[in-house]
Structure 1
């Protein structure tokens, strides 16, 4: 038997940095998304700390992301019994896709749809077309469950840090140029901002399933 779908969980924003949850939590519903992982080298963390420090000089306090990835779908709600067939559908669609190189080296500012959080990210240059091809397959699997597909013209990126609210204007212009200079002038930045997409992941609630690429 499935849990009662009307059972509610009241979210305590103080437990996650005053961030606002986009979906009401209901038992039996699983917030889910598809993504590729970026495993940074140790020196990447040092570069990011310098970027965050430079932003603080402009009065912008950023919090480093706990993990780094490239989103390949929006966050959608799965029923529990959809998870296995969705992942199986995705495995079949991606079974012949080869691993590929990504380079994410251009800083860009993003804000979520609700304008509750602003992100500083590194936009992907090399690997953009391969990511588009994967998103096309992810969208097809999502459509099998009548779920929302990805953005029409996506800016694939690795989110680095965030802050509450919309602070896009303060981060743009001179500030963003100075932050980009930190990245460009950091030793071996051309190595630190590249990685191979070896697996595609689907996270459903606390469950993470991987789909290896060849």
Structure 2
């Protein structure tokens, strides 16, 4: 009999919060952000956190689809955002956000400029989620990229980033022109028109 109990997935203390089941593909929709320079600026203040290797901005929760739903889901998202044009974003401030299970807290940078465009994309993705009877995104959404995480919220809230370093990051403009969908180990991309 298989043991479906959540188990630690690595040596960091991070636990799997959803038991593994066959034919259940963890799926989410997001934009990637090239954050290499900015990460170097912030890394020395975040040594107490587990780093997050790639920066992204989520437009959906992680949902679980069957294999037969994977391709139609990508097609539905592509159709939903077909009239979306590329746009610029920038970050406004840091925030500490905690996951739904209260197992990890994240140091994040929240979106300033570009929020409304992300909101429009999210609404289109939400329609697809409803079509597939999946949960929609948070309301109100707090669009962000995560820099690092810790099991203890106090570890995150104790981090102080000097205004000069934060100003460098918040003054940068990022151009979003490609949407991504991750389904298990598969990654699809959709270019904005």
Could you say what the CA RMSD is over the residues aligned between the two structures, in angstroms?
Answer: 2.1
Q: 2:24: which partner in 1?
A: 29
CA contact (8 A) 2:108 2:145 kept: yes
1:1-214 correspondence runs (5 A): 12-13=7-8, 15=10, 17-41=12-36, 43-53=37-47, 61-167=48-154, 171-172=156-157, 175=158, 178-179=160-161, 181=163, 183-184=165-166, 188-191=168-171, 193-214=172-193
Runs of 5+ consecutive residues of structure 2 not aligned to the other structure: none
| Alignment partners' CA distance in 1, 2:38 and 2:10 | 27
| Alignment partners' CA distance in 2, 1:105 and 1:63 | 22
Give the 4+ runs in structure 1 shifted more than 4 A.
Answer: 6-12
Larger radius of gyration: 1
How many residues are matched? 193
TM-score normalised by structure 1 residue count: 0.82
| Offset, 1:166 | 3.3
TM-score normalised by structure 2 residue count: 0.91
| Alignment partners' CA distance in 2, 1:14 and 1:171 | 22
Between Structure 1 and Structure 2, the one with more helix by share is 1
| Alignment partners' CA distance in 1, 2:128 and 2:144 | 22
| Offset, 1:105 | 3.5
